Amino acid sequence: GNLNGARRLFDLSTTMLDQSPSKQARTRGFLTMHGMLSQWYRPFEFGLEGSKVGYLLGMECGDFDYALYHANHFIAFALVSPVGLTEVESDAAIFCQQMQDFNMETILTIALPSWQFCLNLIGDGIDDPARLSGEAMLLEEQEAI
């Protein structure tokens, strides 16, 4: 990847969003900034925090699609950050329930394996930790989609 290009685009996006009064624009811009650019040159915790802010902004302004896209990124960043696995699992359960509630099946399909992976790492109710089947999802059902 082009690290300098990622930083330049991130900085440009920051400048543009700082001038926008729209929470929806900030929510959508944050997805690009923290979901695709910042991890190339900043610690994952930075993207984690940006995803959390994007989620909160999206829920606040009613942009539930983008809020829950942020939630998916939050789960992924949290799994490779110093956040405790039980906290990640709890957040993932809430986010996936919201994805179901808002009928966001596509992003839910993407988020469920991360939630199940977290459950497997915790050792919660599984026979085979290498198999993505358990409380969050059944592998056979996901493969059928």
pLDDT in tens, 78-93: 999 999 999 999 999 9
Q: What is the pLDDT of residues 13-64, one digit of tens each?
A: 889 989 999 999 999 999 988 888 888 888 888 889 999 999 999 999 999 9
Closest C-alpha among 33, 107, 17, 23 to residue 71: 107
Q: How far apart are CA 1 and CA 36, in angstroms?
A: 11
pLDDT number for residue 125: 61
- pTM of the predicted model as reported, rounded to 2 decimal places: 0.87
SS3 123: coil
Check the CA dihedral 132-135-137-140 and report its sign: positive
DSSP 39: G
Q: Is the pLDDT of residue 68 over 90?
A: yes
pLDDT number for residue 130: 81
Q: What angle do CA 92, 97, 98 make, to 5 degrees?
A: 100
Q: What is the mean pLDDT of the chain?
A: 90
